[in-house]
């Protein structure tokens, strides 16, 4: 039987959007805890994301090298993107993988998790088996990226080194694939 939370929840006293954009809203939420403590938190409202690790028929992993503005550097990533309103996560995973890498294959949903404890968004994790290149990548004009093929050893080293941004998704995919 799975564990279920039993902790009493705080009561929300008020909420206010303090920042709004087409991609992200930030809400200030004032809570009172069961102990009587009052505390405000800033929470992110953002769309769900779909993350996908393509694996080619010869066992190589299709990654994206992409410049990221937060750390101001190029990071290795799994193909990923937002789930559009009304779109199924698996459709978003296949679409984003095709756009960013040009690869298609057999999609398998491995699980979903929260993006962070301060966001309402979910991260849907997929493995794309028997991935094959069917078209050239079609990145957005503002995306500075390129496709990289990696061996399992190289992917594991990226995960250990901290140079892979989608660590949780990559580890779940590797676990699913086995040794």
pLDDT confidence of residue 140: 87
- Rounded to an integer, the average pLDDT of 167-176 is 94
pLDDT 10s digits, 1-29: 889 999 999 999 999 999 999 889 999 99
Q: What is the mean pLDDT of the chain?
A: 95
Report how far residue 66's alpha carbon sits from residue 64's, in angstroms, rounded to the nearest whole number: 6
DSSP H or E stretch at residue 42? strand 38-45
Report how far residue 148's alpha carbon sits from residue 73's, in angstroms, rounded to the nearest whole number: 16
Q: Do residues 126 and 110 make contact, with C-beta atoms less than 8 angstroms apart? A: yes
pLDDT 10s digits, 50-101: 999 999 999 999 999 999 999 999 999 999 999 999 999 999 999 999 999 9
Q: What is the pTM of this model?
A: 0.91
Beginning with the edge strand found earlier in the chain, give each strand of the sheet holding 38-45 in spatial order.
11-20, 25-32, 38-45
DSSP 71-130: TTEEEEE--EEEPPTT--HHHHHHHHHHHHH-EEEEEEEEEEEES-TTB--EEEEEEEEE
Confidence grade of residue 33 (pLDDT, cut at 50, 70, 90): very high
């Amino acid at each position: 039987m799975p564990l279920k939370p039993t902790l009493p929840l705080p009561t929300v006293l008020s909420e206010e959007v303090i920042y709004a954009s087409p991609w992200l809203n930030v809400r200030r939420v004032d809570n009172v805890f069961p102990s009587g403590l009052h505390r405000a938190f800033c929470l992110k409202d953002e769309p769900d994301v779909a993350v996908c690790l393509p694996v080619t028929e010869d066992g190589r992993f299709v990654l994206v090298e992409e410049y990221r503005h937060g750390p101001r550097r190029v990071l290795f990533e799994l193909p990923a993107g937002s789930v559009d309103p009304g779109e199924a996560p698996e459709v978003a995973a296949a679409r984003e993988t095709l756009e960013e890498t040009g690869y298609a294959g057999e999609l398998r949903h491995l699980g979903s998790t929260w993006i962070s404890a301060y966001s309402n968004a979910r991260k849907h994790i997929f493995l794309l088996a028997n991935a094959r290149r069917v078209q050239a990548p079609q990145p957005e004009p503002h995306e500075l990226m390129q496709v990289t093929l990696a061996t399992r050893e190289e992917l594991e080293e990226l995960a250990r080194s901290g140079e892979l941004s989608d660590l949780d998704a990559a580890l779940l995919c590797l676990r699913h694939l086995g040794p």
